[in-house]
Structure formats: C-alpha cells, structure tokens
Amino acid sequence: MTTGAPVAISRSRTWVRAAPGFIWLLACQYAGIWLAGIAPVGLPGTVVGMLLLLLSLTWAPLREPVRSAANLLLAHLSLFFIPVSVGIMVHVGLLSQYGGRILIVLALSTWIGMAVTAVVMRRLLVRPAPSVLSSSHLAGD
C-alpha cells in the first residue's frame, strides 16, 4: 500500500462527515431565502437563514456535522477570496477613477461606526452593574 492511500481515505472520511453539515447549511440558507420571499421581514434571505441556523444549533445532534463542515470551509477560506481578487483586476479602471472616493467613504463609515459604538458603550457602562452583595436580600437578614 502506498503512503498516499491513508491520506486519501482520511480526506474522504472528512468530506463524508461534513456532508450532512453542508446540506444543513444550504437548507438553512434556502429556507431563509424562501421565508424572506414570502414574508415581509425586511431582512435579506441569507440573514434569515443564518438566524435559522443559529436557532437550529441549539439541537445537539446538528452541532457536530455543522462543526465539521465549518472547519472544512475554514481550512479552505483563502479560496473564497479568489472571486474578489478577480473582480478587482477586472474593474481596475473603476477603482482608479473612484478609488479615492471609495476610500474616503470607507474611512468615514468606519469612523462613524466606531464613534457610535463608543458612545453606546460609554452610556451602557455609566450605570453600575447590580451587585449581589448590595441587595437587601442577604442570607443573614
């Protein structure tokens, strides 16, 4: 037997273990798209699908197949950047024309998002957290 055979068997087992997780991920995505299409929820179907996935992960038998699929996707995450890179190369003319404006908008929107987050956190942290020790329901009373 060659040394490549055990590796191939191991890889095929990984894909077989991840297949139910992939099926569940796609089912949640398409169910979310379907629900967003028939109900005016105001959210994109993929976001509704992610919420369905989040709710379904409370059921323990689904966690391991989805974990296997997620780990497999994360192991090959760099492949998901290829379409973006090709898009940038195809539209380099637009980027040279509008790149400065896009950069300004991205910087401003990032700054505004950080500022709003800071204001909200500061307001939330001003109120002291309720303490168990300061309550009047102590065990010795």
Listing DSSP states for the chain in one string gives --THHHHHHHHHHHHHHHHHHHHHHHHHHHHHHHHHHHS--SS-HHHHHHHHHHHHTTSHHHHHHHHHHHHHHHHTGGGGGHHHHHHHHHTHHHHHHHHHHHHHHHHHHHHHHHHHHHHHHHHHHHSPPP-STTSS--TT-
**What local confidence, expressed as pLDDT, does residue 9 receive?**
62
**What local confidence, expressed as pLDDT, does residue 80 receive?**
85
The pTM is what? 0.56
pLDDT above 70: residue 135: no
**What local confidence, expressed as pLDDT, does residue 85 receive?**
85
Q: Which of 33-37, 88-92, 126-130 has the lowest mean pLDDT?
A: 126-130
Q: What is the mean pLDDT of residues 11-37?
A: 89
